[in-house]
Chains A and B, each alone.
Chain A
Amino acid sequence: RMAGHDAGNQHQFTGLAKHFNSYTIVGRRNCVLATYASLAAIFLFFKLKPKKKPAVTEK
């Protein structure tokens, strides 16, 4: 169907697509949560990465 609301019943998803798809409401929710978790992980990675100290040169 081109137009109209897709109930998501006619799709037979297997594997990862069963939980992460853009057709069922649960799949869409999981995609949204996964996106937020990824963004949080990227933010935390750069926040907690140890900063490189410049080498001390003997003057």
Chain B
Amino acid sequence: MTLSLFDQFLSPVVCWIPLVAIAIILPWILFPSPTTRWLNNRSLTSQNWFLSQATSQIFLPINPPGHKWALLLSSLLIFLTTMNTAGLLPYTFTPTSQLSINMGLAGALWMGVVILGMRTQPTHSLGHLLPEGAPALLTPILVIIETISLFIRPIALGVRLTANLTAGHLLIQLTSTATLAMLTIMPVTAIFTGILLFLLALLEAAVALIQAYVFVLLLSLYLQENV
């Protein structure tokens, strides 16, 4: 019983062919590139409008040299939003519930941002490791704490997304199992559990969108410090 709860997080394989690649490529077919026509169709226009709004909001506080990262961060936003929401469908696999995928994204992008800061403005990047106006006696301990917090960032970024999605999917599975199990034995309790399941599903839909946004927002904040 306990083992089957985590079966949904196993990377799907059919005839030794890993299906995770198909799951990751999914956003590519859902977001077609703009055509050469003067006016695109409604779905493409609305997709592009949402994306341009989200990108302009994310890049408002960032200096112009950091706007080169717009394509990378907006495609990351699309990727994570699609992965998270598609994973809410029954019997689907959520790639972003895997720590490997999230740590690969978080670690690589965080390191890119830090290296960019160290290369283009090393004084500012190093200076940010000591809070302004700190007392002289606390300087060594504050520098150590800030350095540790700098290196904790990619771990927190990856684990936050993984933990939120894994916990949500587990809760949905537990609640749905309980609802089905109690349907014949205690129907009234099963109805209340069913209502809870519905509310939980709404919550998970919100969490899927919010966590994708938070991931990209935090990366944009790290970029803001380093550009």
Contacts and interface: CB of A to CB of B under 8 A. Distances in A.
Interface residues of B, number: 18
B130 interface: yes
B143 A35 contact: yes
Interface in A34-49: 35-36, 38-39
Interface of A: 5-6, 22-23, 25-26, 28-29, 31-33, 35-36, 38-39
Contact of A28 (B122, B130, B140, B144): B130
10 contacts: A6-B132, A22-B130, A22-B133, A28-B126, A29-B126, A29-B127, A31-B130, A32-B126, A35-B143, A38-B140
B127 A32 contact: yes
A38 B133 CA distance: 21
A35 B126 contact: no
Interface of B: 122-124, 126-136, 139-140, 143-144
Contacts of B128: 28
A36 to B, nearest CB: 8
A24 B126 CA distance: 12
B148 to A, nearest CB: 12
Contacts of A25: 123-124, 127
Contacts of A33: 126
A23 to B, nearest CB: 7
Contacts of A38: 140
A36 B150 CA distance: 15
Main secondary structure of the interface of A (DSSP, over half): helix
A32 B130 contact: yes
Nearest to B122: A29
A26 B132 contact: no
A32 B135 CA distance: 14
B139 A31 contact: yes
B24 to A, nearest CB: 39
B127 to A, nearest CB: 4
A29 B126 CA distance: 5
Contacts of B133: 6, 22-23
A22 B132 contact: yes
Nearest to A38: B140
Contacts of B139: 22, 31, 35
A39 to B, nearest CB: 8
Given A35-B139, A35-B140, A22 B134 contact: yes
A46 to B, nearest CB: 17
